[in-house]
């Protein structure tokens, strides 16, 4: 008997654009011989399922069900493909926990903590061979001057919304004069902003997931871009970056990175598939943690699908494993 799966997309932020693109890829690759799939859109205004005739059917939020042809559809599990709030910050996870419906991502607490880049760095600091860039966390209700920032950190700096994603609102600052505009841009996206010292090195992104055989690390992707940093356009514009999967690392680096990645996944109590971004510092080869994404992109240009294929697997089999593990974890 098939399990009934809700594929959740949409969202409350500018990342909804990416969510819809991810959901399209996920929907195409879920095994229909094993699962009945209903794509559910969640927005600030409404929650609904659209049938093959383009008719919207509202979701009953009391039990996350829909009524089709006088029959009530309830779900065995949820595949969360919604980036940003409420799919990546723990809100949906908490809702599904209360309803007793399993899902494919980290739990509510881990999702909420890892959405905050500053809090995440504080937790993973101390893992052997893991470094974090020097940083400041600032708040909109407690403004700081450029002088205060530069008395504690050295240029160049990255300015990023603390709870944002897809590099929206992020800037690289090379001079003190650029700081006010960069801070204003970040504060448009969030009330908390992270200011980090720039780490010069090669940038990588790597998927890690809890599968049927425990924690598994996918081949990494090395990111090479002519832009100042790996911003929204570089991430989602085909051809804007050179992406090498598997990334170029020697045997020692591969062993060390896998060990650090697994340790970070465990310490943050992750579940499902997450993506961790990192630098290997120029000259030293030290591992510098950037951030973790608990609902990583699944678009045609996203890293996770590239890495799954590089591991010799099909996307369909990979999604099947994620769903089956989430179903098994609920028993």
Q: Which residue has the tokens 């530069």?
A: 150
Asked whether the beta carbons of 286 and 11 are under 8 A apart, the reply is no
pLDDT at 140: 82
pLDDT at 15: 87
pLDDT at 167: 59
Q: What is the mean pLDDT of residues 221-239?
A: 63
Higher pLDDT, 199 or 80: 80
pLDDT tens track for 13-59: 888 999 999 999 999 999 999 999 999 999 999 999 999 999 999 99
Domain ranges of the chain: 3-105, 113-131+199-329, 135-197
Residue 209 above 80 pLDDT? yes
Q: What is the mean pLDDT of residues 261-275?
A: 98
Nearest to 185 by CA among 204, 206, 199, 171: 171
* Assigned superfamily of 113-131+199-329: ATP-grasp fold, B domain (3.30.470.20)
Instruction: Characterize the bridge pairing of strands 131-132 and 287-293.
Output: parallel
Q: Which backbone phi and psi does 297 adopt, to 5 degrees?
A: -60, 145
Q: What is the mean pLDDT of residues 290-314?
A: 94
Structure tokens at 115: 């959405």
pLDDT at 164: 60
Taking the C-alpha atoms of residue 96 and residue 275, their distance in angstroms, rounded to an integer, is 22
Residue 228 above 80 pLDDT? no
Same fold, 113-131+199-329 and 135-197: no
Which of 23-27, 34-38, 230-234, 289-293 has the least mean pLDDT?
Answer: 230-234
Higher pLDDT, 287 or 229: 287
Long-range CB pairs of 46-55 (<8 Å, 24+ gap) are none
Q: What is the mean pLDDT of residues 46-73?
A: 96
Please report which confidence band the pLDDT of residue 166 belongs to, taking 50, 70 and 90 as the band edges: very low
Q: What is the mean pLDDT of residues 250-259?
A: 96
Residues whose CB falls within 8 Å of the CB of residue 31, separated by 6 or more in sequence, listed in order: 316, 319, 320
Please report which confidence band the pLDDT of residue 260 belongs to, taking 50, 70 and 90 as the band edges: very high
Averaged confidence pLDDT in the chain? 91
Nearest to 211 by CA among 109, 104, 292, 295: 104
Q: What is the mean pLDDT of residues 169-186?
A: 88
Taking the C-alpha atoms of residue 117 and residue 162, their distance in angstroms, rounded to an integer, is 5
Q: Could you tell me the pTM of the whole model?
A: 0.88
Residue 162 above 90 pLDDT? no
What CATH number matches the domain at 135-197, 3.40.1160.10, 3.30.1490.20, 2.60.40.150, 3.30.43.10?
3.30.1490.20
Q: Which fold has domain 3-105?
A: Rossmann fold (3.40.50)
């Amino acid at each position: 008997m098939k399990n009934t799966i809700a594929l959740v997309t949409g969202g409350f932020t500018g990342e909804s654009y990416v969510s819809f693109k991810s959901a399209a890829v996920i929907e195409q690759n879920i095994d229909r011989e094993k699962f009945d799939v209903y794509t559910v859109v969640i927005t600030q205004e409404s929650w609904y399922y659209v049938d093959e005739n383009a008719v919207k059917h509202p979701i009953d939020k009391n039990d996350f069900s829909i009524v089709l042809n006088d029959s009530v559809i309830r779900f065995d599990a949820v595949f969360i493909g919604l980036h940003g709030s409420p799919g990546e910050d723990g809100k949906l996870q908490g809702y599904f926990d209360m309803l007793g419906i399993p899902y494919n991502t980290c739990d509510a607490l881990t999702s909420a903590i890892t959405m905050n880049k500053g809090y995440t760095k504080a937790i993973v600091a101390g893992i052997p061979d893991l470094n974090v860039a020097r940083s400041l966390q600032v708040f909109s209700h407690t403004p700081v001057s450029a002088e205060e920032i530069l008395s504690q950190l050295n240029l160049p700096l990255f300015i990023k919304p603390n709870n944002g994603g897809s590099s929206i609102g992020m800037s690289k600052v090379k001079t003190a004069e650029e700081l006010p505009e960069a801070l204003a841009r970040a504060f448009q996206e969030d009330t908390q902003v992270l200011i980090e010292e720039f780490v010069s090195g090669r940038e990588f992104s790597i998927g890690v997931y809890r599968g049927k055989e425990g924690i598994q690390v996918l081949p990494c992707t090395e990111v090479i871009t002519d832009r100042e940093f790996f911003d929204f356009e570089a991430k989602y514009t085909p051809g804007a970056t050179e992406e090498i999967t598997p990334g170029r690392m020697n045997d020692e680096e591969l062993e060390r990175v896998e060990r650090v990645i697994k340790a970070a996944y465990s310490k943050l109590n992750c579940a499902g598939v997450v993506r961790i971004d990192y630098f290997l510092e120029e000259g030293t080869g030290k591992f510098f943690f950037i951030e973790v994404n608990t609902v990583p992109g699944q678009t045609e240009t996203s890293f996770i699908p590239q890495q799954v294929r590089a591991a010799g697997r099909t996307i369909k089999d990979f999604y099947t494993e994620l769903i089956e593990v989430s179903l098994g974890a609920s028993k």
